[in-house]
């Protein structure tokens, strides 16, 4: 076989392999264009329009955004409620998840059962979890107020109080810390044992080991969990929708719940798209800031 024929044959085989690769990738590519990239671009265009699903969209330029920032009292209220939720939910859930991971990182018989039990609420339906916590927060026969009464504390009317309804939803969110707990547990199991043993030889206690060895070594896990928690907290929806429906007096009206109302109750799809893009830019900016600050405190083994 001549060199030219061999080259031609190799070129054909190369083209065939690429064709096969593209055929295998095509289901994902089609799904991405149809269900992700397409709606993404369409929502951006729609945010500059008025559309109520009944008549064709009408181009209004920046009108939706001007109204959001200048003539929408719900925008500031929902953004404040969501920011309040994020401010307390993110550090609280990560602290609880880290403490649980420390407890579940012990070499004890049956520890896998406890890990499963603590992770189980995470895979429970959000609606089922909300219904369960409606019972727990009941002011008359709820388990939480019964427990408080046993130590002489009169529990508040959690879900019908403008003061306690939002903290109640934050407390409820701590029930599903299984995902960050697993990430922290994986990080803890990757901490070099010789560093812990060296600290013990030098007389370091448990707090010294956690502060100077464990936490620095799992900073990638902390960074990942914080980023994901902020993104998820800004999109809180199910608990408020099922339990309080934004009340009382809009004290639990979160940003995404208001976006849902605008789109599917008021049928203002263009306005809702504008709200969605503002939320996207807020989350994008916060994520970019976190990645910018990560180089100052996140330690990756093998890097300088």
DSSP structure string for 148-174: HHHTT-----GGG-TTTHHHHHHHHHG
Give the number of domains in the chain: 2
Average pLDDT, the chain: 91
pLDDT, tens digit, for every residue of 229-269? 999 999 999 999 999 999 899 999 999 999 999 999 999 99
- Mean predicted confidence (pLDDT) in 102-131: 90
Domain-located, residue 67: no
Domain that holds residue 247: 72-297
For residue 219, what are its two tokens?
């900073």
Q: What is the pLDDT of residue 7?
A: 58
- Mean predicted confidence (pLDDT) in 149-157: 91
Indicate whether 77 and 41 sit together in one domain: no
Q: What is the pLDDT of residue 149?
A: 92
pTM of the model: 0.89
Indicate whether 27 and 77 sit together in one domain: no
Residue 247, phi then psi, degrees to nearest 5: -95, -175
Q: What is the pLDDT of residue 11?
A: 64
Indicate whether 109 and 210 sit together in one domain: yes
Euclidean distance between CA atoms 93 and 228, whole angstroms: 12
Q: Which residues contact 51 (CB under 8 A, 6 or more apart)?
A: 57, 58, 268, 269, 270
Domain-located, residue 302: no
Indicate whether 105 and 37 sit together in one domain: no
Indicate whether 272 and 181 sit together in one domain: yes
For residue 64, what are its two tokens?
């939706």
pLDDT band at 43 (very low <50, low <70, confident <90, very high): very high
Indicate whether 35 and 98 sit together in one domain: no
Most confident of 7-11, 27-31, 78-82, 196-200: 78-82
Which CATH number characterizes residue 124's domain?
1.10.3720.10
Indicate whether 153 and 88 sit together in one domain: yes
């Amino acid at each position: 076989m001549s060199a030219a024929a061999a080259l031609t044959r190799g070129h054909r085989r190369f083209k065939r392999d690429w064709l096969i690769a593209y055929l295998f990738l095509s289901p994902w590519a089609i799904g991405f264009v149809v269900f992700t990239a397409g709606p993404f671009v369409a929502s951006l265009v729609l945010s500059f329009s008025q559309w109520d699903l009944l008549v064709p969209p009408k181009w209004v330029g920046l009108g939706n955004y001007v109204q959001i920032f200048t003539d929408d009292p719900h925008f500031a209220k929902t953004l404040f409620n969501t920011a309040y939720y994020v401010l307390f939910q993110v550090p609280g859930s990560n602290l609880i998840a880290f403490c649980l991971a420390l407890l579940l990182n012990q070499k004890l018989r049956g520890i896998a059962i406890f890990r499963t039990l603590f992770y189980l609420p995470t895979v429970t339906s959000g609606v089922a979890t909300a219904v369960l916590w409606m019972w727990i927060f009941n002011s008359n026969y709820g388990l939480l107020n019964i427990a408080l009464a046993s130590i002489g504390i009169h529990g508040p009317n959690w879900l019908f109080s403008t003061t306690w309804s939002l903290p109640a939803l934050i407390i409820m969110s701590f029930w599903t810390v299984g995902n960050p707990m697993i990430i922290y547990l994986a990080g803890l199991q990757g901490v070099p044992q010789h560093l812990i043993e060296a600290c013990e030889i030098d007389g370091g206690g448990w707090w010294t080991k956690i502060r100077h060895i464990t936490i620095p070594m799992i900073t990638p896990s902390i960074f990942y969990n914080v980023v994901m928690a902020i993104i998820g907290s800004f999109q809180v929806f199910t608990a408020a929708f099922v339990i309080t429906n934004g009340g009382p007096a809009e004290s639990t009206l979160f940003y995404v719940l208001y976006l849902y109302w605008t789109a599917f109750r008021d049928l203002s799809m263009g306005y809702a798209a504008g709200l969605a893009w503002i939320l996207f830019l807020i989350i994008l900016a916060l994520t970019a800031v976190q990645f910018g600050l990560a180089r100052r405190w996140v330690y990756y083994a093998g890097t300088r």
